[in-house]
Amino acid sequence: MNIIVDIDAQRLSFTDNVGAEKHYTVSTATRGTGQQFGSEQTPLGKHYIRVKVGADAPERAVFVGRCFTGEIYTESLAQQFPQRDWILTRILWLSGCEPGVNKNGPVDSLRRYIYIHGTPDTEPMGIPASHGCVRMRNTDLIELFKAVEKGTTVDIR
Domain assignments of the chain as residue spans, ordered by start: 2-156
To the question of domain 2-156 being in CATH 2.40.440.10, the answer is yes
pLDDT, tens digit, 9 for 90 and up, residues 56-95: 999 999 999 999 999 999 999 999 999 999 999 999 999 9
The whole-model pTM stands at 0.97
Q: Given this model, what pLDDT does residue 39 score?
A: 97
**Per-residue CA distances from 89 to 6, 42, 49, 145 (Å):** 22, 20, 16, 10
